Amino acid sequence: MSLPTDRVLPELHRLLTAMEQCQEEIDRGPRQLRARGQTTAARQQALDDRKQALKQLRLLSDQKSLQLKSNETKLGDLRGKLNQASSNREFDAIKVQIEADQVANSVLEDEILEALEKVDLAQVDIRRLEEELAAAKVEEERYGKQIAAALPELEQRLAGLQTDLAEVETRLPPEVVPAYRRLVQAHGAGALAAVDNATCTSCYVRLTPQNAVSILQGQMMFCRTCGRLLFAADETAG
């Protein structure tokens, strides 16, 4: 790659920026896929919880139904005793007990009806959650295939940028390379900063007129404030 000396640093900055963007695209896919996986897992958990709640509702309904059946048997026995009462006192006591048990059974019947209504609502809710879970699984699988299909092209693009970067880096003066490497390792594309209107665009400190002219002439220089490797912005480079 043939480049004028004053274009080496801008090209390095462009390539480093493009590499970061490409790597971000590569990394974004798995992150978003994990997020979709978490959505699927959350929907699965919600469905499991609702099924467990339905199981408890049914158990409660069954228990109340058994209790009602037991109470009805008890009422039958009391009615039999009522007919066999040997005194008015015994008759009245049994009658009071029957009336109390009938009230209790009426309350129990209402509770059973309420429990059955909750069972019906839970079943409707479960069908909805099952549909949402199925849709989440389909979306997760679709996105996974989309990521897998896009990955080879992104990796090829990144490899090409890395090759171009290595080639352009050979144009750096040997004495600049060690500091450049450290800056790139620490800041990525932010290792280099354009000088716009005699100002470093990384720390926004104004350069001395002499340094600003040197940058415009293509001299490689590090910012005295933030340490970035400076290059002339396109509009000032002419």
Q: How sure is the predictor about 3, in pLDDT bands with cuts at 50, 70 and 90?
A: low
Over residues 6-24, mean pLDDT: 95
Over residues 33-44, mean pLDDT: 96
- Give 88-105 pLDDT, tens digit per residue: 888 888 888 888 989 998
Indicate if 225 and 128 belong to the same structural domain.
no
pLDDT of the residue at 140: 95
Indicate if 15 and 85 belong to the same structural domain.
yes
- Tell me the CATH number at 149: 1.10.287.1490
Split into its structural domains, the chain has a count of 2
Q: How sure is the predictor about 36, in pLDDT bands with cuts at 50, 70 and 90?
A: very high
Domain end (from 109, 143, 169): 169
Distance CA 46, CA 48 (A): 5
pLDDT of the residue at 238: 35
Distance CA 6, CA 230 (A): 11
The boundaries of the domain holding residue 29 are 5-169
Distance CA 117, CA 131 (A): 22
pLDDT of the residue at 152: 96
- Give 133-192 pLDDT, tens digit per residue: 999 999 999 999 999 999 999 999 999 999 999 999 999 999 999 999 999 999 999 999
Indicate if 146 and 205 belong to the same structural domain.
no
Looking at every residue in the chain, the average pLDDT score rounds to: 92
The structure's pTM equals 0.72
pLDDT of the residue at 234: 77
pLDDT of the residue at 88: 86
Over residues 4-12, mean pLDDT: 85
- Give 41-67 pLDDT, tens digit per residue: 999 999 999 999 999 999 999 999 999
Indicate if 165 and 181 belong to the same structural domain.
no
Q: How sure is the predictor about 235, in pLDDT bands with cuts at 50, 70 and 90?
A: low
